[in-house]
Amino acid sequence: MPRTARPTIALTVALAAVLLAGCTDDAGSDGQGNGVVGATPARAQAGATSSPTPAPPPTGPYVALGDSYTAGMKIPPQVGEPGGCYRSGANYPALVAKGLSLAAGQFRDVSCSGARTPDLTGPQKVSDGTNPAQLDALTADTRLVTLGIGGNDAGFMEVVTECAKANLVDILKGVIADSADRISNSPCRDHYAGGNGTDEVQRKVDAAGDRLGQVLQDVRKRSPKAKVYVIGYPGLLPADPAVCLPVLGDAVAASDLSFLVEKEQQLNGMLKKRAEAAGAVFVDLAGPSAGHDMCAGEDKRWVEPPFPAQGLAPIHPNAKGQEAASGVVLKAIKG
């Protein structure tokens, strides 16, 4: 084995260990696609002589639903029960509620790290207790709902971990010993989408979409007067994998970084499609987060890298990311 491969092996092993140890409560991203904030198209009627009076933006009661990308995993201050949900008092729902000047009784955040779509309709066990079914927070009086979910259903953190492990196996086998092989080799893509013509990640995304469609129908039944916003995932990786070399080194093959970008785009595309089909508004965070991915500098990034700043969750939004998300969501709400 070439001597130069040893730093790569060490970084790859460490990356896989961090992901397996630090992200078992969630996925996130738990992923993305490119675009602008989704909104319900204007319905100006042909021949109208005056513009319709715009509807006032929804206010409260406001209920926030979702996984760790909504909860604000490990971002201080951590609030609420159970503590294993890692819910932050500075996550985007809390900042949206503040931006709408909602009183405490007009806002409920029931998001929880590790949540999947079944945890919206059933209880979710966490390290120190149980988070009740998130949809139970909805009532007929609810007027505003935000929902950020789907990354855990798609197993996105597991995919990232597998990409690091698959690259390590190839390094140990000497498959990608030279730079040309490193550029072209894609062990993770081969693992998930090679051989039988079935893309396993896409299959999980599609299944998550079916469940999300049912959830959105349930939200409408429980809160028929609520305006519903489905929140996409911010960009985890840049479009150009080479930008990540200073942060990730060769821990994940360059072609597999492109594969991960593609999978996150598919995840966000599914969320947008399901939101629109249900009459909800899709809020795109991938477009606004361009240049703020985990491979950006510490002063620019909205998502932490595999080795995050002290106390924060790897491959999850930091405080700047939550603040930026709140601005995008507020813009969508206020029109």
Known catalytic residue: 68? yes
276/244 Cα distance (integer angstroms) = 33
Q: Count structural domains, the chain.
A: 1
For residue 96, CA distances in Å to 146, 188, 248, 306, 316 come to 10, 38, 33, 28, 19
68/113 Cα distance (integer angstroms) = 4
218/21 Cα distance (integer angstroms) = 34
pLDDT at 166: 57
204/210 Cα distance (integer angstroms) = 10
pLDDT at 77: 97
On whether residue 293 sits in a domain, the answer given is yes
216/280 Cα distance (integer angstroms) = 8
Which of 129-133, 167-171, 222-226 shows the lowest per-residue confidence on average (mean pLDDT)?
Answer: 167-171
On whether residue 163 sits in a domain, the answer given is yes
130/127 Cα distance (integer angstroms) = 8
49/42 Cα distance (integer angstroms) = 15
On whether residue 212 sits in a domain, the answer given is yes
pLDDT at 292: 96
Beta bridge partner(s), residue 65? 147
259/265 Cα distance (integer angstroms) = 10
One-letter amino acid at 292 equals H
88/253 Cα distance (integer angstroms) = 34
Return the higher-pLDDT residue of 40 and 209.
209
pLDDT at 9: 42
Which of 81-85, 149-153, 161-165 shows the lowest per-residue confidence on average (mean pLDDT)?
Answer: 161-165
Quick one: which of 216, 221, 235 has its CA closest to 282?
Answer: 216
pLDDT at 37: 39
Tokens of 80: 């609420």
> If you search the block for the tokens 């924060």, which residue do you land on?
312
94/109 Cα distance (integer angstroms) = 8
On whether residue 268 sits in a domain, the answer given is yes
On whether residue 77 sits in a domain, the answer given is yes
Which of 14-23, 195-204, 219-228 shows the lowest per-residue confidence on average (mean pLDDT)?
Answer: 14-23
Mean pLDDT taken over the chain: 82
Quick one: which of 145, 122, 115, 108 has its CA closest to 28?
Answer: 115
This prediction's pTM? 0.81
On whether residue 218 sits in a domain, the answer given is yes
* Residue 315 neighbours by CB under 8 Å, 6+ apart: 19, 23, 28, 29, 30, 157, 160, 236, 294, 303, 304, 305, 306
pLDDT at 233: 97
pLDDT at 245: 81
**Which structural domain range is residue 258 located in?**
5-40+57-334
88/74 Cα distance (integer angstroms) = 7
The band of 272, judged by pLDDT with boundaries at 50, 70 and 90, is very high
Residue 94 has pLDDT above 80, yes or no: yes
On whether residue 284 sits in a domain, the answer given is yes
pLDDT digits (tens, 9 = 90+) for 102-122: 998 999 999 999 999 999 999
On whether residue 136 sits in a domain, the answer given is yes
Which CATH number goes with the domain that contains 236? 3.40.50.1110
Known catalytic residue: 29? no
Burial status of residue 133 (CB atoms within 10 A of its CB: 0-12, 13-18, 19 or more):
middle
Set 29, 68, 111, 326: catalytic member = 68
Set 111, 289, 316, 326: catalytic member = 316
The band of 333, judged by pLDDT with boundaries at 50, 70 and 90, is very high
Tokens of 95: 């900042």
Return the higher-pLDDT residue of 263 and 252.
263
Q: Which H or E run contains 107?
A: strand 107-109
